[in-house]
Amino acid sequence: MKLPNFFIVGSAKSGTTSVYNYLKQHPAVFMSPIKETHHFSTDIDSAKFRPDYAANLNRNIDAWLDGSQKKEIFHAFVKDWNKYEKLFKHATNQQALGEVTNSYLYSTAAAKNIHDKFPEGKIIMILRNPVERAFSHFLMDVKGGRESGNFIDALKSDMNKKEKGWGISNVYVEIGLYYEQVKRYLDKFPSNQVKIILYEDYRTNATIILNEICEFLNIDSDFEFEFSREHNKAMIPRSGFVAFIIRQNKLKNFVLDLLPKTGKRIIKKLFYSENNLPKLLTEDRKYLVELYKEDIQKLSKLINRDLSGWIKI
């Protein structure tokens, strides 16, 4: 049975969804049909997930796993190893088999778990300016109807929650504290098995970065990727009622599962607007830069990259 030999471990809101979709175009690549499996994040307790997150991740996928798996699932918590193996049952002659799970970077257990199972596995991580990442995360929650107010108020409220963690709170700030997260992988895997990409480089020239990823995976790096649309584009619900409907995950998932792609695009236009998006204010940026400055400087030394642009106001 074929199993993965590379893992894109995050970070969240740093382009991993678009990389996942582009790599699927390559004939030498097989990607897990569940984009985020969370299998190796064993320190994350799914029993504590907030209701809206649990509705998406703590789902029964047994029938889907035993079927054709043609209809992809964005994320699910695949805890059982036998179920995890089934995600790669349709792989044929592809040389690079992989999956993308953003919790693997945040998780304190994933690096060791992946190394224990796949010591020769290759690790790819995409790191985004943590200030921009946190704001993009907030915009995602606005789009999902979970936030509607001021960014910095939402961030501080999240930081002060008693119960915190992946799927429990939003961890807007914590996900962007990269130093320890990256170090866990560099402590386990040799440097030639780890590729660290800066999101800003990917946004500037996706073709070059995708070609570099192909080289890293030892597959044809001259493959011409077809660039189509933005993934996970920021939008806001058109009304409070729409936000309420969007939060009803079971109903939303049921309706979306029945719709073809064209139908989903129509629903998005009806439900969402790209106008009047919240803006990242200068004072908010200053506040976050102070929070992240020390961690960014430590990360810069760790990966030997100039990250001074991340601490500019």
> Over the stretch 40-58, which tens digit does the pLDDT of each residue have?
999 999 999 999 899 889 9
pTM here is 0.86
Would residue 83 count as lying in a domain? Answer: yes
β-pairing verdict for 122-127 and 6-8? parallel
Instruction: Kindly tell me the burial class for residue 85, based on how many C-beta atoms sit within 10 Å of its own C-beta (0-12, 13-18, 19 or more).
Output: middle
Phi-psi group of 279: left, alpha or beta (phi > 0 → left; psi -120 to 50 → alpha; rest → beta): beta
pLDDT, mean of each 10-residue run, the chain (313 residues): 96 96 98 98 96 89 96 94 98 98 98 98 98 95 84 96 95 98 98 98 96 98 86 49 48 53 55 69 97 98 98 92
CATH number of the domain encompassing residue 182: 3.40.50.300
> Over the stretch 208-241, which tens digit does the pLDDT of each residue have?
999 999 999 999 999 999 987 665 554 444 444 4
The whole-angstrom separation of Cα 144 and Cα 146 is 5
Number of domains in the chain: 1
Would residue 147 count as lying in a domain? Answer: no
Would residue 199 count as lying in a domain? Answer: yes
Alpha-carbon dihedral sign for residues 53, 58, 60, 62: positive
Would residue 84 count as lying in a domain? Answer: yes
Would residue 263 count as lying in a domain? Answer: no
Would residue 271 count as lying in a domain? Answer: no
Range of the structural domain that residue 11 is part of: 6-131+171-230
Would residue 107 count as lying in a domain? Answer: yes
Would residue 20 count as lying in a domain? Answer: yes
